[in-house]
Amino acid sequence: CGSAAAHDGVNRMTKALLERDGVNWRKKLPPIPTVPIAARKRWSAPPAGAPAATPPGNTLQREPGESPSPATPAWYQTAAGIERARTLKEEGNELVKKGNHKTGIEKCSESLKLNQEYATYTNRALCYLALKQHKEAVQDCTEALRLDPGNVKAFYRCAQALKELKDYKSSIADINSLLKTEPKNTAALRLLQELNRA
């Protein structure tokens, strides 16, 4: 869950499947192979160092449909919750492609309640930018960068929002951080030129 490379791979594959098979791409996937019970027990065990027992009144179980609390350990997030979060994120992406940014924000927000993922924050930031909610866009980009400190989209969208908020110094700092990773990023270079003229 915490691997940025794994998230990137999943996002690329999901995008490719959406382009190839449309929104019903899941129905066209082959069945999931059966996992032996011994392996399932090994994978579902909490990681070393996680508390073996939880004191009464401090249980990790939640009601159906309830979001995990910030205190819930990452290893407790269920595969179903993460899959639901991914579905909501994809639905949000489809809405954004159609120009429905307000509902896109709602889908991203629902997804983030289930699984905090940097790509969902950058997607929601894009919606906030489209709706001229620049402070919210900066907050989401900040969260995305907390999860993935080198995220190019987060730097770029934050710089865009900061420019609109007339915080040119911070906007230039974000563009410079982006250019350390991608020195030939034409959109970033163009924005930097605009900022230097402002």
38 belongs to a structural domain: no
CATH code: domain of residue 93: 1.25.40.10
Question: Is residue 62 predicted with pLDDT exceeding 80?
Answer: no
62 belongs to a structural domain: no
Residue ranges making up the domain that contains 176? 79-196
CA distance 123 to 139: 12
Pick 80 or 167 by higher pLDDT. 167
Look at the chain and report how many structural domains it folds into.
Answer: 1
58 belongs to a structural domain: no
141 belongs to a structural domain: yes
34 belongs to a structural domain: no
Mean pLDDT of 121-147: 93
Mean pLDDT of 47-74: 42
180 belongs to a structural domain: yes
Mean pLDDT of 46-68: 41
117 belongs to a structural domain: yes
In tens, the pLDDT along 69-125 reads 444 444 345 777 788 888 888 887 788 888 888 988 998 888 888 888 888 899 999
CA distance 28 to 21: 8
**Under a CB-based contact definition with an 8 Å cutoff, are residues 122 and 138 in contact?**
no
